[in-house]
Copies of this chain bind each other. A is one copy, B any other.
Amino acid sequence: MARDDGSGRTTVRDAVLQLLRAFGMQRIFGNPGSTELPLFLGFPADFEYVLGLQESVVVGMADGYAAATKNAAFVNLHSAVGVGHAMGAIFTAWKNRTPLVITAGQQARSLFPFDPFLFSARATELPRPYVKWSCEPARAEDVPLAIAHGYYIAMQHPRGPVLISIPADDWARTCAPVEPRRIGAAPRCAADALAAIGAALDASERPAFVIGAGVDRDGAWDVVRALAERHRARVFTAPMSSRCGFAEDHPQFAGFLPAMRERIVAALAGSDLILVLGAPAFTYHVEGHGPHVPAGAALCQITDDPEIAAWAPVGTSAVGDLHDAVQTLLQRPPPRDRPLAAGRPARPRAEASTPMSVSYALQSLADVRRPDDVVVEEAPSSRPIMHGHLPMLKSETFYTMASGGLGFGLPAAVGVALARPSARVIALVGDGSAMYSIQALWSAAQLKLAMTFVILNNGRYAALQEFAPTFGFAAGAELEGTDLRGIDFVALAHGMGVSDAVRVARPEALRDALVAALRSTAPALVEIVVA
């Protein structure tokens, strides 16, 4: 079917594989279907196929992998239904700002007129609005260009997923090879906006910093800490932040902002300048009233996201690269001397009990993990307790999802472990979260990853039960669809090849179980029965 076999031409398959090599995307996350098979003909030895048993697991693994490698991950999904199954995870990747180049196998072009089996009738529309770009090239020979285009879009800030739909018959066609290009990193903030923020910061008497996921994503821990210390600012973590951008044991660390307007204003009270770095201002979960910042306080924001800058209700925003912007602020003359604000009060140690409290369980984990260990967390009801008992201390050691959608934790942990074989990765997930994507255990077993799964099993969707009074439910009232009794995670682990799995119900057994699981040379799972 090739229209040109002249010198310099290659197949679409080979041109795409060459691009993937150039972009460092030699792991293919996927679950195959018939319309993807032609990609695998003569599968090259320098590529690795990472199989997930459902597409939400596939994309979750790719999300964690891309976040940890700081490069787009390549995903290959099956036609409409594979993309469909993945849409929840694609939404999470969108909110996480994770670059993904997602391809979907389309039916052969000659079948399009006949609504064939497995046809994705409007393939570029299906993933919207949660891709930065989607494309089904009009001609087979334009597929490699579309892959390159998608990669460059995914990698530009704010990063995110893209989707390219590829007809099954395109892979064997001929085309011209595509040379990889270089596109600069995120643009720098406009100088006048940065100068205004710098002047406001210098003039401030009691500044507070609010640290979002962008700080960790952009590798800006060191410059942000330097700026906070220079200005003696109180430092808060932004509401629902999916990453940690400031050491939680730092004396200036003041705590975690909740996702509620009035409580944010209360927490920030006393500051006259709020500098938000790499975060929205602010992420709200429930309705609020009144001002968005304390009376008399100004708000300044540095973000790489024009949308986030646009909807912020008050204050001054600079849009551009965070690391560069903070470095620029550090180059200003030394600010006035300010008193050092008090950090968080010390938390009391949790006591052992049966059943264990979440605070005891997490404190036990904090006692035995190393600060370099990576925690991939999805235990919404336990997160406030984690904030008190399991502090994150270093860059790139904490990942959760920014979307509020369950199912990210287990597969993302597998992806991070795959990306960072020298790190110990701990998946810390609730029972409800774990059941969303329990199939990730199988992938961990197949990949023989030396990683640790900690399941906090409270037998319910606790976050919802605790949230219900916000909507007028009586405390403790029965809530439909939130009871998760009768799940045995050790049996589930065994069923998927994770043979190193234990259930811990007594506090005196926990420490040893965690120590063993953190030293495992294969996937190990600890199910902790908590109150």
A88 and B85 contacting across the interface, CB-CB below 8 Å: yes
Given contacts A122-B129, A405-B82, contact A479 B286 (CB under 8 A): no
Interface residues on chain A, number (Cβ under 8 Å): 106
Given contacts A80-B403, A442-B435, A467-B34, contact A487 B497 (CB under 8 A): yes
Is A445 an interface residue when CB atoms closer than 8 A count as contact? yes
Copies of this polypeptide in the complex = 2
Q: How far is the CA of A439 from the CA of B438 in the complex (A)?
A: 9
B87 and A126 contacting across the interface, CB-CB below 8 Å: yes
Question: Shortest distance in angstroms between A475's beta carbon and chain B's nearest beta carbon?
Answer: 14
Of B78, B168, B481, the contact of A32 (CB 8 Å cutoff): B481
Given contacts A31-B481, A56-B54, contact A84 B90 (CB under 8 A): yes
Is A108 an interface residue when CB atoms closer than 8 A count as contact? yes
Binds B, one of A38-46, A324-332, A356-364: A38-46
Proximity string of chain A (55-87) to chain B, C-beta cutoff 8 Å, 1 when within and 0 when not:
110000000000000000000001111111111
A471 and B37 contacting across the interface, CB-CB below 8 Å: yes
Q: How far is the CA of A462 from the CA of B172 in the complex (A)?
A: 24
Of B111, B116, B407, the contact of A54 (CB 8 Å cutoff): B407
CB within 8 Å of B: which A189-243 residues: 239-240
Q: How far is the CA of A483 from the CA of B497 in the complex (A)?
A: 14
Q: How far is the CA of A446 from the CA of B489 in the complex (A)?
A: 17
Is A156 an interface residue when CB atoms closer than 8 A count as contact? no
Q: Across the interface, which residues of B come within 8 angstroms of A283, CB to CB?
A: 115-117
Binds B, one of A305-313, A343-351, A388-396, A418-426: A305-313
Query: Which of A89, A118, A311, A403 has the most chain B CB atoms inside 10 A of its CB?
Result: A118
User: Using a CB–CB distance below 8 Å, which chain A residues touch chain B?
Assistant: 28, 30-34, 37-38, 40-41, 43, 49, 51, 53-56, 78-92, 108, 110-111, 113-118, 121-122, 125-126, 128-130, 168-169, 172, 239-240, 259, 280, 282-287, 307-308, 311, 313, 403-407, 432, 435-439, 442, 445-446, 461, 463-464, 467-468, 470-473, 479-492, 494-497
A-B contacts besides A34-B471, A81-B91, 14 pairs, CB < 8 Å: A34-B285, A34-B464, A49-B481, A85-B88, A86-B88, A87-B126, A113-B313, A116-B285, A117-B284, A128-B128, A169-B287, A446-B486, A487-B497, A489-B495
